[in-house]
Amino acid sequence: MAESGATTADITRYLGRVTMFLSMAGLVVQVGLTSRLHRTYGLAASLLLLPIVLGASTVVILATGAVWAAALARVLDTSLRYTVDRTTREVLFLPLPVDLTQRAKPFVDVTVDRIAKGIGAVLLLVLIKPWGLGLAWHQLGYANLIIVAA
């Protein structure tokens, strides 16, 4: 955006709009969609929704190369990650005994989540850095599709 002559105020205004849509989408999804998805399609389909949407978002970004497509992907990712995906994972702990839940949940929520984010960050560095594969943005999109499919 900066290359197009956009000022700092323009970029700030744009990012503010994206954040506003993020919050609105999250509220709508959490209140109106999550429980319906669980009842209608089950937990497995609800867990698959985020990767499918991320893959579809990547296809849109690759097809258009537009900033709005990346913003849409960000809104969809964040709104689904912290509503449908997180809620579905929380529901998976319900059938477990309380003592097992109290031991396993903190481990999964903290340790496993942080290790996964760390692995993702290292993988991203290997994909984009010159000392790694040095992929361009469109090549990174194809790598993302491969990871989502896996």
- Supply the pTM of this predicted model: 0.77
Structural contact between residues 61 and 139, judged by C-beta atoms closer than 8 angstroms: no
Phi, psi for residue 116 in degrees, rounded to 5: -65, -40
In this model, does residue 2 exceed pLDDT 70? no
For the chain, the average pLDDT equals 88
Buried b (16+ CB within 10 A) or exposed e, 108-136: eeeeeeeeeeeeeeeeeeebbeeeeeebe
In this model, does residue 49 exceed pLDDT 90? yes
| Predicted local distance difference test score (pLDDT) of residue 62 | 93
Q: What is the domain partition of the chain in residue ranges?
A: 1-92, 97-150
Distance CA 24, CA 20 (A): 6
Going by pLDDT thresholds of 50, 70 and 90, the confidence category of residue 112 is very high
Going by pLDDT thresholds of 50, 70 and 90, the confidence category of residue 7 is confident
According to DSSP H, which parts of 107-136 are helical?
A: 113-128
| Predicted local distance difference test score (pLDDT) of residue 121 | 93
Going by pLDDT thresholds of 50, 70 and 90, the confidence category of residue 3 is low
